[in-house]
Amino acid sequence: MNLDFSFYSWQLVQTYLLQGLQFSLQLTLIATAGGVLAGTVLALLRLSGKAWLALPAAAYVNLMRSVPLVMVLLWFFLVMPFVLGHSVGAELSAMISFIAFEAAFFSEIMRSGIQSVARGQVNAGRALGLTYVQNMQLIILPQALRNMLPVLLTQTIILFQDTSLVYAIGAYDLLKGFEIAGKNLGRPVEAYLAAAVVYFFICFALSQAARQLQQRLAIRR
């Protein structure tokens, strides 16, 4: 089999790949922001000490962490039209699915981060007369986010890799762009190989950035 990558050009990138790359990055950012927010809420519920709050949150986290992401994508994509009475589209369905799924993973990261904050910090906040919410908002969460920032970035990189799974519901992501380019130009093998290289360089660059950030945070401490 002879491989030929000479057909790749900037025009091909503009025609097939930029739209997919834009959606992959958009999905990554939205899912990260939504997942961190929802995950923080889930973590606080699990640490609340109240069973009626902690048990449902724990059940949700365990459920989402026990099923493949592609199944969650299919659940939302196929079930939501019946619930809402109309289709929401593959892109919006993917965003909702990713936020719901990633919230469970970010929840465990945030819970570990909150628990990593010294107990003395909590007691100091109480001694100042801060409420539970104020203590979390002003003292605990800022330190937890700082402690967990490298892990959060690592999870975000994994999230970007997982965006390739939206092909299962027909969303136009970066991998879909390579697939369409390969089919239209009669070079599917080269297209998938090029996709692997692009994903590798993007994720490798992000991993190096996360490592440097982790080193800087370690030096400051």
* Distance between CA atoms of residues 68 and 192, nearest Å: 23
- For residue 56 the two structure tokens come to 């449902």
| Domain edges within the chain | 10-220
* Distance between CA atoms of residues 168 and 163, nearest Å: 10
Cα 77 off chain centre by:
18
CA distances to 3, 70, 141, 158, 195 from 200, in Å? 20, 21, 33, 12, 8
Q: Does domain 10-220 have CATH number 3.30.9.10?
A: no
What pTM, to 2 d.p., does this model score? 0.89
Mean pLDDT for back-to-back runs of 10 residues, the chain (221 residues): 66 84 95 95 91 95 95 90 80 94 95 84 78 81 83 92 92 92 85 91 90 74 57
